Amino acid sequence: MSDRRRLDPARVGRIVVLVAWAGFFAYLWASGDVVRYLGPRTYWVVVFGTVTLIAAAISSLSMVRRGSTGQLTVGQFLGYLLILLPIAVVVMAPDAELGALAVSRKLVGDDTRAVIIPQFDPDRPVSFIDLAYGSRSPEYAKAAGIEAGRELELVGFVTHEGGGKGFRLSRFYISCCAADAIPYSTDILTEDGSDYADDTWLQVKGTIESHEGGFALKASHINEVEEPDPPYL
């Protein structure tokens, strides 16, 4: 009887893993940091994860003293550490982000990435996705008023991949998570040929120009800004 009342270290280990992940999901949920990792379609998974893991941990508490072996192996312990590794990695690099390197890795051939059909709203400012889709669809460009000479303001980070002279401004669109991020980029044309380092976040004001079969932004004002929250489109 006394043996069955001993703490089962394997069960205790599993509960610690469940509680740690429940806490991490709750943190992502409460802090709003979930937007860094997931797209709007999958925000619900952190709520589901928090609730289910807490429920499972509470339900398992009644059995932590039922173990008969009373030992935890090296393999089990390493397995638990492995599951906690992503949390440790986030603690180590809390401000990790996708930048110019990720854009260069995700380009396949050309840079036509207007795969999302934007729902045009006259009250919404024209974005990277509108410009990209407008470059492919003259009908959409006309309906959205995307034409040479129109004033525009964009916020994005600097990249040089796939562009011609000068630099490009880019933002990512994510559907489910950062693994499926799709880069949208717009060429920035400057009169003085000014350039910026990769990953510098800029606010660029100017006018739309027809450029290499698509649209570019001819800059009149460029300001360095903080990374927006969320950083994605």
Partner 1 sequence: MAVRSPALGRRLSPGLAAALLACLIAVVAIGRVTNVSQTPQISSFVLVFTSIVVEALPFVLLGALVSALIEVLVPDSAFTRMGRLPLALQLPGAALGGLAFPVCECGSVPVARRLISKGMHPAAGLAFMLASPIINPIVLWSTYVAYRGQGLGWEMLFGRASLGLILAIVLGWTIGTESASSLLRSRPEHDHGHDDHDHSKSRVAAVAEHLTLDFAFMARFVVIGAALAAALQTIVPQGIVSGVAGNPLTASLALMGLAFLLSLCSEADAFVAVSFTQFPLSAQLSFLVFGPVIDAKLSFLYGATFKNRFVLRVIIAAVPVVLAGAFWFERIVGQ
Which residues inside 167-226 make contact with partner 1, applying CB under 8 A? 175-180, 182, 198-199
Q: Return d(Cα 199, Cα 113) in angstroms, integer.
A: 19
On whether the CB atoms of residues 39 and 175 are closer than 8 A, the answer is: yes
Interface with partner 1, residue 155, by CB under 8 A: no
Return the number of the residue (92 or 122) whose C-beta is nearest partner 1: 92
What φ, ψ does residue 157 adopt, rounded to 5°? -110, 155
Interface with partner 1, residue 78, by CB under 8 A: yes
Single-letter amino acid, residue 106: K
Interface with partner 1, residue 52, by CB under 8 A: yes
Would you state the structure tokens that stand for residue 194, as one six-digit string? Answer: 């000014």
The DSSP letter of residue 180 is G
Among the listed residues 1, 3, 108, 192, the single contact to partner 1 using CB under 8 A: 108
Return the number of the residue (113 or 218) whose C-beta is nearest partner 1: 113
Return the number of the residue (63 or 225) whose C-beta is nearest partner 1: 63
Interface with partner 1, residue 32, by CB under 8 A: no
Return the number of the residue (41 or 124) whose C-beta is nearest partner 1: 41
Interface with partner 1, residue 96, by CB under 8 A: yes
Interface with partner 1, residue 20, by CB under 8 A: no
Among the listed residues 79, 222, 230, 233, the single contact to partner 1 using CB under 8 A: 79
Give the bridge partners for 205, in sequence order: 153, 221
User: What b/e sequence results for 72-93 when a residue is b if at least 16 CB atoms lie within 10 Å of its CB, and e otherwise?
Assistant: beeeeeeebeeeeeeeeebeee
Return the number of the residue (207 or 233) whose C-beta is nearest partner 1: 233
Interface with partner 1, residue 106, by CB under 8 A: yes
Residue owning tokens 């998974």: 45
* Parallel, antiparallel or unpaired: strands 167-173 and 201-211: unpaired
Among the listed residues 31, 32, 66, 228, the single contact to partner 1 using CB under 8 A: 66
Least distance to partner 1 from the beta carbon of 179, Å? 5
Would you state the structure tokens that stand for residue 170, as one six-digit string? Answer: 């880019």
Interface with partner 1, residue 129, by CB under 8 A: no
Residue 129 makes CB contacts below 8 A (sequence gap 6+) with 114, 116, 118, 173, 184, 233
Q: Return d(Cα 73, Cα 89) in angstroms, integer.
A: 24
Among the listed residues 7, 30, 82, 148, the single contact to partner 1 using CB under 8 A: 82
Return the number of the residue (146 or 189) whose C-beta is nearest partner 1: 146
